[in-house]
Chain A
Amino acid sequence: MYQYNEVDQRIVNERVEQFRDQTRRFLAGELPEEEFQVLRLMNGLYIQRQAPMLRVAIPYGLLSSEQLRKLAHIARVYDHGYAHFTTRTNIQYNWPKLEQVPDILAELAEVQMHAIQTSGNCIRNTTTSHFAGIEATEVEDPRPWCEIIRQWSTLHPEFAYLPRKFKIAVTGGPEDRAASQVHDIGLHLVRNDQGEVGFEVLVGGGLGRTPFIGKVIRDFLPKQDLISYLEAILRVYNLKGRRDNKYKARIKILVDAMGADAFRELVEAEWAHIRDSELRLTDAEVERVKGYFAPFAYDAAAADDASLNQHLAEDQDFRVWYERNTREHKAPGYRIVTVSLKPHLGAPGDATDLQMEVVADLANQYSFNEIRVTHDQNLVLGEVKQADLYSVWQTLVEHNLARANIGTLTDMICCPGFDFCSLANAKTLNIADDINAAFDDLDYLYDLGEIRLNMSGCINACGHHHVGHIGILGVDKKGEDWYQITLGGSSREDASLGKVLGKSVAADEVPETLRRILLTYVEQRIEGERFLDTVRRIGMDPFKEKVYAAAA
């Protein structure tokens, strides 16, 4: 993974001291509240329902064991012994003390981490596939490009006061695990007819109040032009994006209002000024960054191991976990292991300090010292030898990290909801518990197959409910929590926005509503058909009838 050089380290250190001084001036009454709010948000610090919340950046979801141990340490020393992984592959602490935040940032800087631009109206953490670099179908590893974007976007002087937040996702191949089509900018590494690799560029996707799928504005961008093209898009947006209404300030609204063609023309006109400037990436820089992401020295004999098959034959629990939570790695004899942060009756995406340390140790011992955070709020040990899987599994089981539910109904994306978030309209964690309690039968879950359930506690859609195969949105009705259900969304390469099933249901009706939806699927599916495909084939009506008929 990327290692800071002296310059990278200096910028993070200086930002810590800058923020320390901003905090000091605020506490001394020299900096008005409304200005400090903007400045602290640009450093990931919110004031939440119970306490401040600090969001720490995990660039493109990649961590070293040392970094994850530091995150565990911060959870233990400065917080309540746990933290929450987010859909931007960041991590949130829910109970830090404002005056201690500069010290937390200084600790993070010791391990090349920061909270820069994890909130605020600026360019946020760039995300990518959690299987980047280890998936056989990839055109190219997207992570070097993410790092190049990270550096360009970090403390960008021109784009720190955008109309609204700005999110970029990069995919390395045809499989989209980064929800790139619902990002402000989606970048897809593609190969053109001449065999050259470049980027397909999408703009104007997004979720929230007004969800949109991104539009392609350029089929092929030469790689050397990445930074100049991004700069052109951001400049157009900074100047033209709406600033009169924060609900209409995202780039998706601008692109929709003027049309993708008109937007493209503005970008291309601006790009013509800067394309041949010093912004063009140098081969030396690209090679330098790529050097940090070279494939590891895999054991050529890894596939010779016979113990895996023996364990699979002898231990059914292990076999179930192996089938659900591990997948093929491009190197023979290695597997990709997903560490489930979706335990029975636990907040989705939360991890304790001890759990983080356990995963850090496993990565250190078995997976080249690296951990990946997934956008659906799990962790990944990317490169585990098959001979080591049984040991890894045993340790994960011991620490409640091996629930064999990856890709199933209970592997849900879920925001923290009303219990923590001051924006939320409704609770989510209790609903997640109810769903877990109602759908605890693993055989039933496996029979249902791949289902993505996403839940948000408000219209801001941090839980990506629009793109869940099943989406649940918490709404407030006269002081009570109600839940609107959508079906048919996807954040993958076949991205689509879910459609509303019908009137919202009360909190205690959510599990029964899901049960009827799933029953409809089981009755209607044809052999081997995923839930999402059944919804797409038969439409909403059969589901509506089943859910609402009995109630009427």
Chain B
Amino acid sequence: MPLLLDRQIAENTWQFVEESLPADTGNADLVVPFELLPQLLDQHQGRCGVRVPGELPYEELLPFLERVALIEIEFPIFRDGRGFSLARLLRRAGFTGEVRAVGDVSRDRLGYMERCGFNAWMISDERFSESDLQAFAEISVRYQAGADDPRPIYRQQ
């Protein structure tokens, strides 16, 4: 499954562990559901990531922001827009690691997602095309403040 990272096709080094963690997790980059995050942080020597649904209140993530390198936000269906706000709130809270969109992710939301603070996208093989990278340049004007630029149009010069 192709990964876009900072507007480039990249190698995915992260491994998703959905259920129980093995006793020895080694030094890999591991991402787990929110429920397993405390345990992962407790025992894992490598980099830690967490996968959350869009409806998770961002306050619940605040205690962990300095200790995770990746937050994956799930998009269960194309129309679900909660993750856009969650990403913005996480960036506002100061999270500087990778914010990755997973699930139903495809070209026509990449630009908006980037402006809300996402910098990585997992796109399924059947929906991915190299031309997806052009999506970021489709709209060059930013009326609104975003995670990428806190200035709305009336403060841009």
Contacts and interface: CB of A to CB of B under 8 A. Distances in A.
Interface in A36-75: 38-39
A282 B89 CA distance: 24
Given A152-B152, A238-B82, A158 B112 contact: yes
Given A15-B139, A238-B82, A151 B153 contact: yes
B93 to A, nearest CB: 10
Interface in B54-89: 55, 78-82, 84-86, 88-89
Contacts of A528: none
Interface residues of A, number: 41
A208 B109 CA distance: 29
Nearest to A162: B81
A157 B116 contact: yes
Size bracket, chain B contacts: 35 or more
A273 interface: yes
A7 interface: yes
Nearest to B111: A157
A512 interface: no
Contacts of A159: 81, 84
A193 interface: no
B90 to A, nearest CB: 12
A18 B136 CA distance: 11
B112 A17 contact: no
Contacts, number: 100
Given A158-B116, A281-B154, A11 B108 contact: no
Nearest to B58: A239
Contacts of A121: 79, 81
Contacts of A281: 154
Contacts of B138: 14, 17-18, 21
Given A11-B139, A160-B81, A30 B152 contact: no
B154 A285 contact: yes
Contacts of A227: 152
Given A160-B112, A273-B92, A235 B151 contact: no
Nearest to B75: A161
A277 interface: yes
A151 B154 CA distance: 10
A220 B129 CA distance: 50
A279 B156 CA distance: 11
Contacts of B115: 157-158
A11 B79 contact: no
B150 A238 contact: no
Interface string B104-121: 001011011101100000
B25 interface: no
Interface in A77-128: 121
Contact of B84 (A11, A157, A278): A157
Interface of B: 55, 78-82, 84-86, 88-89, 92, 106, 108-109, 111-113, 115-116, 129, 138-141, 143-146, 150-155
11 contacts: A34-B78, A155-B141, A157-B146, A158-B81, A158-B84, A158-B115, A159-B84, A243-B79, A273-B92, A278-B155, A282-B155
